[in-house]
Amino acid sequence: MVVDNRNFFEQWFAINLLSLVKLKLFIMTRFTICKTICLLLPVLFVFSCHVSYVSFRPEQKVVHSDTAIVTRVYIDRYGDFYPDPGVPIDSAKFKVNGRRGSKNLGSLSHYFLSRKKRMRYLSEFYGVSADSSAEAAFREVQRRIKNRYVEEINHKILRQHAGRLVYLVHGLNDTMAEAEYDQLRDTIAHRRLLPAERPVFVDIHWDSLNAHVFDGLAVVKVWKPAQVNSIFVSLSLRELMTGVEQQTGIPTIVITHSLGAGVALGAMFNTVHKWKSLDGMISKANQQRLSRLMLNPTPVSPVRIAIIAPAIPGETTFTDFNLREPSAITASQNNIGRVVIGYNYKDYAVSKQLLDIDLAPIYGSTTLGCNYTLLGVTEIDRVFDKMKTLGYGGYTGIIVPMEFQTPVRKNAPLLESGTCEHAFCYYIDNVRMKDLLTELFGQ
């Protein structure tokens, strides 16, 4: 048997480091604890640099019974749409496991462009001319996949006489969002909506990475790369949304969880201040591509958004609220009628709480999800203040805070004792979900 010494060392390091941290916690002040953890997190990330990118091909082949009202969209780490299941993808050669730094893992563009035979088959399937360069052909295929989604969604809107189009966007480390989306649809169905409110749904399945667990170093390792993925996905979602509204200007609702908030808000406006913190993790070529994608027009149809346990900062995100494309807007031109912020003080994933100390501002801020308080001012209050400076003092009701409480975690790690669950399913089950849906579907 061959022993992987690298993995052995990483496991030994993690186990023994945790023991040392526990010992030191008994003798350090709270200030020293915070400072030490801030220093340790990047170190832990380096020693946990293996991630699993998600392959959605198996999910694409599942036959669903609710396709009359649901369109399922699958997006890779670079914001590229998965082709029709009729186009073969060898999961083993798709390389879904490996080091986070590799630009080829979980990448549809690399998978097809690295083999002429694969690219030729893809081009032929979508009727793209063989005279095009490989890169140009791949981009044309992507455009046609997006257009097929647009046609399918608009067909369902017309066929169902729908009054709302609802996008569902999951969060970090969520590879089984289908069950949660079904749970949320059932909850919406129990509201007995008026005919004018009847929805059709678009399920966004995006590569938010897979840590295979929900605690500890394994989740730390996927956090930063997943944030990078969310930028590309948000801009692809933007293209899809604007494509749909060009044919049907139906009122839109977006419901998100965790890092899905970054995806949805990045689709609606350019959250450049938040994105800038990730520049060091994006290659120059991809930064140039993102700069081009950011110029795509943002949606203009009426939209309401719910960001539940948002794993994003508040003020740094909403400072860019008016940065729409093709040009910045004024408050009177805004089409985002409501943003419901479902926060949870004790949610372990967004509070990053250790020994009752919230570390939400560090290592990728998640201050909005736990409504973090700094110098006596909450993050949501900072959002309100920022919106006033952007001209929304007289436009009341756009930002709607809503406190959620999820169950206390069972068998939580010692350092996180007393924290609460983060999974989407717990928020959907919460009594506040009824109020949230009223804000989204009501007048």
| Eight-class DSSP state of 198 | -
Q: How many whole angstroms separate alpha carbon 192 and alpha carbon 189?
A: 6
Single-letter residue type at 176: M
Q: What is the phi/psi pair of residue 231, to 5°?
A: -65, -50
Produce one character per residue of 47-85: b if its CB has 16 or more CB atoms within 10 Å, e if not. bbebbbbbbbbebeeeeeeeeebbbbbbbbbbbbbbbee
| Domain limits, the chain | 1-47, 51-79+149-441
As separate numbers, helices (DSSP H) first and strands (DSSP E) second, the chain gives 17, 13
Quote the pTM value: 0.88
Enumerate residues 6+ apart whose C-beta is below 8 A from 408.
346, 418, 419, 420, 421
Peptide bond into 326 cis (omega under 30): yes
Nearest to 310 by CA among 263, 261, 264, 275: 261
Nearest to 265 by CA among 229, 231, 223: 231
Q: Which residue has the tokens 């949320």?
A: 184
pLDDT tens by residue, the chain, 443 residues: 333 443 433 443 343 444 434 334 433 444 444 444 444 444 444 444 456 888 899 999 998 999 999 999 999 999 999 999 999 998 878 877 655 557 778 899 999 999 999 999 999 999 998 777 999 999 999 999 999 999 999 999 999 999 999 999 999 988 889 999 999 999 999 988 888 889 999 999 999 988 777 776 667 788 999 999 999 999 999 999 999 999 888 999 999 999 999 999 999 999 999 999 898 889 899 999 999 999 999 999 999 999 999 999 999 999 999 999 999 999 999 999 999 999 999 999 999 998 889 999 998 899 999 999 999 999 999 999 999 999 999 777 899 999 999 999 998 888 889 999 999 999 999 999 999 999 999 87
H/E element, 167: strand 164-169
Beta-carbon-side half-sphere exposure of residue 99 (alpha carbons within 13 Å): 6
